[in-house]
């Protein structure tokens, strides 16, 4: 699996204060052709992210001074760059908080480098795909919701709603199966990639965010409905 040679190497920003772990992640990514910038504090990480040219961020949650959650929130204020969080084994609350703040994924320490690299690749594939303009001008419609695939725009009753890349991909997967079951594993494959081994709670958090942005009453959704035990369904009414 090579990286396209007609482009600069993908640049990964790693924010991690554990020097040993940072070194081994940097080494593994560099040997796969990525360019890696490491910062040991959230403040420096944020500064690197602001400087631009970063294609993906790997962000440790437990950082001195400014926490990873704060870094994540602040990056999301100016960028949609994919963010993979690194969390300690039993910090369930942190994972959910991180996803709600806009992280795309998380990995629990200790993790395998192979898995990390697979996820980095999957997130980069997804985030560049949206940037390629086609000429089909495809628009998916369901109820008051419109998804303009090429313009990468979402509208509810004609009003534009801002979705993050993963939210957009998830809504697209749901709307392509309008009024049919979208199984959990199908959604995870399509949105996060078949190499995704993470907690499926990630899916539920993204569904929750979509409902908050698209539904009149997100606690009583009419369009993005749960099919208990199986997945979700986009209902066109």
Residues that bind Ca ion (CB under 5 A): 17, 60, 62
Q: Which is nearer to Ca ion, 32 or 60 (CB)?
A: 60
234: buried, middle or exposed (CB in 10 Å: 19+, 13-18, 0-12)?
buried
Structure letter (DSSP) for residue 11: E
**Residue 233: CB minimum distance to Ca ion, A:** 40
Q: Which is nearer to Ca ion, 90 or 217 (CB)?
A: 90
**Residue 60: CB minimum distance to Ca ion, A:** 4
List Cα–Cα distances, 41 to 48, 101, 112, 135, in angstroms.
11, 19, 23, 43
Instruction: Give the Cα separation of 12 and 120 in Å (integer).
Output: 9
Q: Which is nearer to Ca ion, 59 or 203 (CB)?
A: 59
Query: Tokens for 45?
Result: 């990480």
Task: Name the CA radius of gyration of the chain, rounded.
Answer: 18
Query: Tokens for 88?
Result: 């300690």
**Residue 225: CB minimum distance to Ca ion, A:** 39
Q: Which is nearer to Ca ion, 3 or 19 (CB)?
A: 19
**Residue 105: CB minimum distance to Ca ion, A:** 18
List Cα–Cα distances, 111 to 32, 56, 72, 106, in angstroms.
17, 18, 20, 11
Q: Which is nearer to Ca ion, 43 or 235 (CB)?
A: 43
**Residue 17: CB minimum distance to Ca ion, A:** 5
């Amino acid at each position: 699996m090579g990286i396209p040679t007609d482009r600069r190497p993908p640049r990964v920003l790693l924010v991690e204060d554990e020097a040993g772990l940072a070194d081994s992640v940097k080494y593994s990514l560099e040997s796969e052709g990525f360019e890696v910038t490491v910062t040991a504090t959230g403040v420096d990480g944020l500064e690197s992210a602001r400087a631009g040219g970063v294609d993906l961020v790997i962000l440790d949650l437990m950082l001195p001074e400014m926490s990873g959650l704060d870094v994540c929130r602040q990056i999301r204020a100016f960028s949609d760059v994919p963010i993979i969080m690194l969390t300690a084994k039993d910090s369930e609350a942190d994972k959910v908080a991180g996803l709600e703040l806009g992280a795309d994924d998380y990995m629990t320490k200790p993790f395998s480098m192979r898995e990390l690299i697979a996820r980095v690749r999957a997130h980069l594939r997804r985030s560049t795909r949206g940037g390629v303009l086609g000429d089909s001008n495809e628009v998916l419609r369901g109820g008051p919701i419109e998804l303009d695939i090429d313009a990468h725009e979402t509208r509810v009753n004609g009003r534009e709603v801002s979705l993050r890349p993963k939210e957009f991909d998830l809504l697209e997967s749901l709307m392509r199966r309008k009024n049919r079951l979208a199984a959990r594993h199908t959604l995870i494959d399509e949105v996060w990639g078949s190499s995704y081994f993470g907690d499926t709670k990630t899916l539920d958090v993204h569904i929750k965010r979509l409902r908050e942005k698209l539904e009149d009453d997100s606690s009583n959704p009419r369009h993005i409905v749960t099919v208990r035990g199986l997945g979700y369904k986009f209902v066109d009414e």
